[in-house]
Structure 1
Amino acid sequence: MTDYFVAGSWRNRDAIADVVAVLDDVGASAYCFIRAKYPQGAAVLAAPGGADEVRLDDPGVQDLFEQDLEALRSARQFLLVLPAGAAAHVEAGIAYGLGKPCYAIGPVERSETLYRIFQNVFAETDELHRFLADAPNGGSR
């Protein structure tokens, strides 16, 4: 079981890497697509835009869906790195539906009523780091 499932967009990879580094720094474990080991048939999906031309019924898509969903189920908490695309927002909804504490970090481009699912929305990594450093076990539970 991991402490955090980190979701976001390939286009925002640098910000996601910064967030994962903060989690590492406080000793919290994380599953994140930028570090995930992709199933053999899903290797094309491990790059920005890799899913753009892949059919939804492709076996690699199914394999990666199952891997990500299992990682989401087994994570204790959820962290969305903004801006993010539709898939990451679907993952946020799943995490919330599973009763997991949900957080977001990054610029909120417009007010979304459903962003109320997030217990905290952090503006930047320094704010996230302070929150995790003050949390028992560095944000791990």
Structure 2
Amino acid sequence: MKIYVASSWRNNIQPFVVEALRNEGHEVYDFKNPEPGNHGFHWGEIDPDWESWSPEKFREALSHPVAESGFKLDMKALKECDACVMVLSCGRSAHLEAGYAIGAGKPTVIMLQNGEPELMYKMTPNICLDIQEVVKSINAISDKKIQGDGKI
């Protein structure tokens, strides 16, 4: 099954989630390493001083070729995935990605960590507390998908 893992660059659990799902035989999109030789999108590739940008500069930078390329890779994987896993703690982009997946009718799993409770996480019944629960949920989704239409 194709899985999109949404998280944060600062989340040190994300690589273990990616590895655990791959070990189960799933095809997992890792935004930190989206394809061979590509180590993911970083605003710093456009401007090392990106954190001091004005809203106008940020809007302009969204059209930069590096940003366009990173966005296209992530969106392609998000559109093609069978399911999404959001690993907390994460930021706005990961929440947008999970929201997109839920809105597109894709099963979505949320792995909770420390942080504020969010009411809208009720959009998915798949709330997990550790990597083992994430793997169990994804495998159940995969099994249901196979039984439902014979395809992954």
Both proteins in one fold, TM over 0.5: yes
Instruction: Please give the secondary structure, in 1, of the residue aligned with 2:33.
Output: coil
RMSD of aligned alpha carbons: 3.0
Deviant stretches of 4+, over 4 Å:
49-52, 132-137
1:116 aligns with 2:112: no
Per the normalisation by structure 1, the TM-score is 0.79
Mapping for residues 59-74 of structure 1, pairs under 5 Å? 59-74=65-80
Structure 2: which 5+ runs fail to align? Answer: 51-57, 147-151
Once the two structures are TM-superposed, the CA of residue 130 in structure 1 deviates from its matched residue by 3.6
> What amino acid is aligned across from residue 3 of structure 2 in structure 1?
Y
Instruction: Please give the secondary structure, in 1, of the residue aligned with 2:105.
Output: coil
Instruction: Please give the secondary structure, in 2, of the residue aligned with 1:79.
Output: strand
Query: Identity over the aligned pairs, expressed in percent?
Result: 27
Q: How many angstroms apart in 2 are the aligned matches of 1:122 and 1:27?
A: 20
Per the normalisation by structure 2, the TM-score is 0.74
Once the two structures are TM-superposed, the CA of residue 44 in structure 1 deviates from its matched residue by 7.8
Partner of 1:19: 17
User: Whose Rg is larger?
Assistant: 2
Moved more, 99-108 or 29-38: 29-38
Q: How many angstroms apart in 2 are the aligned matches of 1:136 and 1:95?
A: 16
Contact 2:87 2:110 in 1 (8 A): yes
Partner of 2:27: 29
Contact 1:26 1:132 in 2 (8 A): no
Structure 1 residues 8 and 50, CA gap change in structure 2 (3 angstroms): farther
Q: How many angstroms apart in 2 are the aligned matches of 1:91 and 1:4?
A: 12
Q: Which has the higher contact order (CA 8 A, sep 6+)?
A: 1
Contact 2:5 2:84 in 1 (8 A): yes
Contact 1:105 1:122 in 2 (8 A): yes
